[in-house]
């Protein structure tokens, strides 16, 4: 239960942090799409651990293998299975967590639900589960670009109190990938990196915000009332580890405006209905209006920190815990491709639903 996402373009992720491997099964992918590991690996390289000094130093290559669903380099229309093997598990670093719950982590809640948990690395609660999402998202991004002209991109826009002004229509992948924090504003990125380095040395962690965008989405995608596009985006983002909040368009800031100030005025431009402003974030009434979709997702500070904390044991005793092992002092740099992947999965599913319903 709860391991699958999507209606037509549907994925199911599987695997635990310290098991033999992790992966995903994609069902509903259209046939005859050229697809190889080379289409997927670059996205996993952006997500993988050990890529910089401000992320966890777990040494995983995260090499993906397509094990079903393609023939002679093209998709068959049958389920696509993608596998990434785990190669650098160090379960001994987690032995203290076998009997002690990490504060603000899912250790206790998984025990409460299942009566058992894979404590090495956090099992399914680990960010390694997102490998399957990012791999599937790479497939979705390729189809969205080739068949629908849609581009999906995300960036870090805030770390703790340090924020950057982000124009959803302007920043580029090159700017995002120009630094290890993945903030397209160079001067702000340097401040963010210094903050994370300082916090890492203290054995602590910080959170922040990732801005996601989708450009070129045509008007008409979305399935009201319960599958409104922004509702599916919210579910997608809040299903990611460490997420705590989501807003789209003007979001919470929109409440400071009056209707006359907030409304996106329509006008004809280039033979199409367009809006003068985009406070709606590209979605109105749960349906895309043809403008750029943009939203923000807030990520909490990483729960596992290298400081002594009060907690409770599985036996119900008040105890002390000092975590060991390799952990992200800030999840944001590696979460950027995760946000892009979940955005692409939502849009790919709605693109196919729109095509099935209206033939376009």
Q: Does the model's pTM come out above 0.85?
A: yes
> What percent of the chain has pLDDT above 90?
83
| Nearest-angstrom CA–CA distance, 243 and 306 | 21
Structure tokens belonging to residue 319: 């105890």
Q: Is 347 helix (H, G, I), strand (E, B) or coil?
A: helix
In the predicted model, is pLDDT for residue 360 greater than 80?
no
CATH 3.90.180.10 fits domain 4-358: no
| Nearest-angstrom CA–CA distance, 167 and 211 | 10
Helix, strand, coil percentages in the chain from 3-state DSSP, rounded to 5: 35, 25, 40
Question: In the prediction, which pLDDT does 92 show?
Answer: 61
Across 105-119, 207-221, 322-336, the highest mean pLDDT is recorded for 207-221
Question: In the prediction, which pLDDT does 151 show?
Answer: 98
In the predicted model, is pLDDT for residue 91 greater than 60?
no
| Nearest-angstrom CA–CA distance, 205 and 200 | 6
Structure tokens belonging to residue 218: 């045509």
Question: In the prediction, which pLDDT does 344 show?
Answer: 98
Question: In the prediction, which pLDDT does 93 show?
Answer: 60
CB 291 within 8 A of CB 274: yes
pLDDT digits over 36-57, tens only?
A: 999 999 999 999 877 777 887 6
pLDDT, average across residues 200-213: 96
Backbone φ, ψ for residue 175 (5° rounding) = -65, -40
Structure tokens belonging to residue 41: 């690996």
Bridge-partner residues for 319, per DSSP?
311
Query: Which helix (H) or strand (E) segment is 356 a member of?
Result: helix 332-358
| Nearest-angstrom CA–CA distance, 96 and 322 | 8
End-to-end CA gap in the chain = 32
Domain limits of the chain? 4-358
List of residues 6+ apart from 25 with CB closer than 8 A: 11, 12, 14, 79, 80, 81, 82
């Amino acid at each position: 239960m709860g391991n699958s996402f999507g209606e037509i373009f549907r994925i199911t992720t599987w695997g635990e942090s310290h098991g033999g491997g992790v992966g995903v099964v994609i069902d509903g992918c259209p046939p005859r799409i050229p697809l190889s590991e080379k289409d997927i690996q670059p996205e996993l390289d952006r997500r993988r651990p050990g890529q910089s000094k401000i992320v966890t130093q777990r040494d995983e290559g995260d090499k993906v293998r397509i094990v079903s669903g393609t023939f002679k380099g093209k998709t068959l229309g049958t389920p696509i299975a993608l596998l990434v093997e785990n190669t650098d598990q160090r379960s001994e670093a987690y032995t203290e967590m076998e009997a002690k719950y990490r504060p603000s982590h899912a250790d206790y809640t998984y025990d409460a639900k299942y009566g058992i948990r894979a404590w090495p690395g956090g099992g399914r609660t680990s960010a390694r589960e997102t490998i399957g999402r990012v791999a599937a998202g790479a497939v979705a991004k390729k189809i969205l670009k080739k068949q629908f002209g849609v581009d999906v991109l995300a960036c870090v826009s805030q770390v703790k109190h340090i924020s950057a002004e982000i124009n959803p229509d302007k920043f580029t992948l090159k700017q995002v990938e120009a630094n290890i924090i993945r903030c397209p504003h160079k001067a702000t990125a340097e401040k963010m990196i210094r903050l994370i380095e300082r916090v890492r040395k203290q054995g602590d962690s910080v959170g922040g915000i990732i801005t996601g965008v989708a450009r070129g989405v045509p008007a008409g995608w979305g399935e009201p009332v319960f599958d409104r596009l922004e509702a599916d985006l919210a579910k997608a983002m809040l299903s990611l580890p460490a997420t705590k909040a989501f807003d789209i368009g003007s979001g919470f800031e929109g409440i400071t405006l009056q209707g006359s100030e907030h409304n996106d005025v329509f006008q004809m431009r280039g033979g199409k209905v367009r809006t003068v402003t985009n406070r709606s974030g590209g979605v109105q009434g749960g349906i895309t209006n043809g403008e750029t979709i943009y939203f923000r997702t807030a990520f909490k500070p990483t729960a596992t920190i290298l400081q002594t904390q009060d907690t409770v044991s599985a036996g119900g005793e008040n105890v002390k815990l000092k975590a060991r092992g390799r952990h992200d002092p800030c999840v944001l740099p590696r979460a950027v491709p995760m946000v892009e992947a979940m955005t692409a999965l939502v849009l790919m599913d709605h693109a196919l639903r729109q095509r099935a319903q209206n033939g376009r």
